[in-house]
């Protein structure tokens, strides 16, 4: 770990000890080099694939629930289950394989995982695109937000190339 990362980690730990709220802001995430990190709502960090060091800093900052939308066989992932064991961390893998995995059902599952979390949540995938896509669908189909507001929320959470798929799904009638 670089000296810069150690200083940042020490600062985050000190801030976490002084406050109940997570001590992570956009500048901290940028300093940690968390890929495509966003804070679309209080208590939610979205991002691309985390490293173990990044996950440990987020853990030290009060994040206890981590949700990865990548299948375990995608490069750079698969280590999280072992890492979370015995740490008091809730780790969930909700495999979303590209656009085909962006479904209302997966958005509802993500909403359930987030609702069951004890405190702030980190949701990530390869780039943040799948996260933003599911959060947009969750905002519309679970929370009842308008299509426009849900899409804006998804974009603020990392939605990029999957926007056409999300727009298509937002046109579906709500489930009874």
Measured distance CA(23)–CA(72) in Å, rounded: 29
pLDDT digits (tens, 9 = 90+) for 45-77: 999 999 999 999 999 999 999 999 999 999 988
Q: Which domain holds residue 150?
A: 3-170
**Sequence-distant (≥ 6) Cβ neighbours of residue 15 within 8 angstroms:** 23, 61
Examine the pLDDT at 14 and tell me if it is beyond 90. no
- 54: domain CATH number is 3.90.190.10
Residue 79's SS3 state is coil
In a domain, 29, yes or no: yes
Residue 18 CB contacts under 8 Å (≥ 6 apart), including other chains: none
pLDDT band at 31; cut points 50, 70, 90: confident
What is the total count of domains within the chain? 1
Which 8-state DSSP code applies to residue 98? G
Taking a C-beta distance cutoff of 8 angstroms, is the pair 95, 69 a contact?
yes
- Residue 89, judged by CB atoms within 10 A of its CB (0-12, 13-18, 19+), counts as middle
Q: Does residue 119 belong to any structural domain of this protein?
A: yes
Asked if residue 109 belongs to a domain, the reply is yes
The tokens for 69 are: 């939308």
Res 164: pLDDT:
97
Q: For position 113, what pLDDT does the model report? A: 98
> Is position 26 within any domain?
yes
Across residues 29-55, what is the average pLDDT? Answer: 94
87 inside domain: yes
Q: Rounded distance, CA 146 to CA 150, Å?
A: 6
86-143 pLDDT per residue, tens:
898 999 999 999 899 999 999 999 999 999 998 999 999 999 999 999 999 999 999 9
Residue 175 lies in a domain: no
Which pLDDT does position 161 carry in this prediction?
97
The pTM of the full predicted model, rounded to 2 decimals, is: 0.86
Rounded Cα distance between 61 and 57, Å, is 6
pLDDT at 131: 98
Report yes or no: 121 and 24 within 8 Å, Cβ to Cβ.
no
Alpha-helical regions (H) of the chain: 3-18, 26-31, 52-60, 80-84, 104-115, 129-141, 147-156, 163-170
Residue with more model confidence, 39 or 175: 39
Instruction: Give the residue among 56, 38, 62 at the shortest CA–CA distance from 128.
Output: 38
Residue 175 binned pLDDT confidence (cut-offs 50, 70, 90): low
Full strand arrangement of the beta sheet holding 121-124? 38-41, 44-47, 121-124, 65-68, 90-93
């Amino acid at each position: 770990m670089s000296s810069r990362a150690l200083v940042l980690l020490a600062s985050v730990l000190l801030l976490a000890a002084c406050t109940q709220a997570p001590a992570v802001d956009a500048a901290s995430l940028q300093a940690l080099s968390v890929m495509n990190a966003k804070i679309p709502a209080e208590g939610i960090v979205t991002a691309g694939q985390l490293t173990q060091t990044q996950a440990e800093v987020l853990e030290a900052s009060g994040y206890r629930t981590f949700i990865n939308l990548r299948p375990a066989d995608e490069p750079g992932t698969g280590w999280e289950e072992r890492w979370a064991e015995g740490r008091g961390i809730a780790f969930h893998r909700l495999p979303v394989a590209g656009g085909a995995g962006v479904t209302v059902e997966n958005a509802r599952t993500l909403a359930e995982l987030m609702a069951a979390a004890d405190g702030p949540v980190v949701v990530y995938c390869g780039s943040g695109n799948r996260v933003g896509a599911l959060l947009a669908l969750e905002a519309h189909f679970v929370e009842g937000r308008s299509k426009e507001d849900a899409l804006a929320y998804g974009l603020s959470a990392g939605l990029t190339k999957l926007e056409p798929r999300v727009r298509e799904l937002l046109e579906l009638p709500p489930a009874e």
